[in-house]
Amino acid sequence: METQKKNLKVLLAEDYDSTRMIYGMHLKRYLSEAGFQVEMDIAEDGKEALDFTRSNKYGLIVSDYDMPRLTGAQMYLQLKPEHQSRTVLMSSTPAQLKHDLRAGGVENLPLIHDKQQALENLDQKIAQCLQIN
């Protein structure tokens, strides 16, 4: 008998087309294998991501740090408390992610040029965030 998958609404904010496509496909596959039925919204910059959060509730937000109109950090600081209480994964170098964001529960996902290693790091951070064994 097949187990019922848990619904999970995800927001992916990334300004580069190729990275957005790779992360989007990977997130859907990884989360599906972890037992989630994924509904994903895609934002091309921080302002669009913030607009999405005003009319949707997300269980996971994966955001690039360096984006046009609003950075990932600026977006995070403007989120409603219900979204801030969720762990937001920021794709950034440690120097970019300010101490105040780390203290606020934002997970740092180091920028890695090896795509396979970057995806493995993403999996680990998501597993921590969603408490996937």
Domain containing 25 equals 6-130
Answer yes or no: is 112 within a domain: yes
Answer yes or no: is 101 within a domain: yes
State pTM to two decimals.
0.79
Q: Residue 73: what pLDDT?
A: 80
Question: What CATH number is associated with residue 15?
Answer: 3.40.50.2300
Answer yes or no: is 33 within a domain: yes
Answer yes or no: is 16 within a domain: yes
Q: Residue 112: what pLDDT?
A: 58
Q: Residue 40: what pLDDT?
A: 96
Q: Residue 65: what pLDDT?
A: 81
Answer yes or no: is 1 within a domain: no
Answer yes or no: is 104 within a domain: yes
Count how many domains the chain has.
Answer: 1
Tens of pLDDT along the chain (133 residues)? 556 789 999 999 999 998 899 889 989 999 998 889 999 999 999 999 999 999 998 988 888 888 889 988 888 888 877 666 566 666 666 655 555 455 455 666 656 566 777 777 777 777 777 777 5
- Residue 88's φ and ψ, nearest 5 degrees, are -105, 125
Answer yes or no: is 67 within a domain: yes
- Strand order across the beta sheet in which 88-92 lies: 36-43, 6-13, 60-64, 88-92, 107-110
